[in-house]
Amino acid sequence: MPHGLKRFYGAGDLHFITFSCYHRLPFLNTAARRDLVLRSLETVRQEYELVVVGYVVMPEHVHLLVGEPRKQNLSVAVKALKQSVSLTVHNRLRKQSSMDGPLKRFWQTRFYDFNVFTEKKRIEKLRYMHRNPVKRG
């Protein structure tokens, strides 16, 4: 883990999560790929018993406001979500183009995690997520 990065799990807090596509490229710029993220999120939600309070899928990043999963920790759940999306996209691209070699990475490594432990912060993060696509047009 990089110096100074700490994750705080176990207090039952909500977590504001952000993760980005590799080099912030717009890999999620189609409705099909955004829908794939949502289907994968639903699968992860069920598998890890995760409460999803809010989300937004932008062309090059994803924001989630989630509770701590009942099964495993949040890092494992986010990893499962990212892997599900990237493997599906890579497999589809391989089939379409008959590629044999490795594809570029889909996601940046790691993710940003902010513990949300007050009602004021919960509202602030939800407003931020909802306004994000509006600001972008």
Q: What is the pLDDT of residues 100-137, one digit of tens each?
A: 555 578 999 999 999 998 999 999 999 999 998 877 76
Given a contact cutoff of 8 angstroms between Cβ atoms, the answer to whether 16 and 64 are in contact is yes
Q: What is the pLDDT of residue 82?
A: 96
Total-model pTM: 0.85
Instruction: Identify the pLDDT of residue 104.
Output: 72
- CB-based contacts of 108: which residues, under 8 Å, 6+ apart? 19, 20, 21, 22, 23, 24
What are the helix (H) ranges across 49-116? 74-97
- Which single residue is written with the structure tokens 């993060």? 125
Neighbours of 49 (CB within 10 A): 14
Largest CA distance in the chain: 50
Is the domain 14-136 a CATH 3.30.70.1290 member?
yes
Task: Kindly give, in sequence order, each residue whose CB lies less than 8 Å from that of residue 7, ignoring residues fewer than 6 positions away.
Answer: 74, 75, 113
Which residue, among 28, 73, 24, 91, has the nearest Cα to 55 in the 3D structure? 28
3-state helix, strand, coil in the chain (%, to 5): 45, 20, 35
Residue ranges of the domains in the chain? 14-136
Residues of the chain with pLDDT under 70: 1-11, 96-103, 137
